[in-house]
Amino acid sequence: MKSAVISKERMYEVVRGPIITEKATLGSEHNQVTFRVAIDANKNEIKTAIEGLFDVKVRAVNTSRMKGKVKRWRGRLGKRVATKKAMVTLEEGQSLDISTGI
């Protein structure tokens, strides 16, 4: 994967925040960390942003898009926002403490 050159501002736009769920924390056994990312971000941008913000080496990036569901709230229809998440696999020996924040 060729590394993209992006600005510091774009890095903060791409990485929205960590996802801390039971399933996401199971990935830590395989040296994975899960983040919410911008819908328009590609894998190269995500890799560059994680390496730039957290000073770690990324081996692979897997992404998943979740379409916004139509839900009823107090009898009215509403739509949830579509989101994208990235499961980032770090190189051996690298670690990332997401509880400290960006």
Domain spans, the chain:
8-91
Q: What average pLDDT score do residues 17-23 get?
A: 92
pTM of the model: 0.86
Contacts of 8 (CB under 8 A, 6+ apart): 52
Residue 1 has pLDDT above 80, yes or no: no
Predicted confidence at residue 48, as pLDDT, reads: 96
CATH topology of domain 8-91: Alpha-Beta Plaits (3.30.70)
Residue 15 bridge partners (DSSP)? 37
Integer CA distances (angstroms), 72 to 34, 69, 75, 76, 83, in order: 29, 10, 6, 5, 19
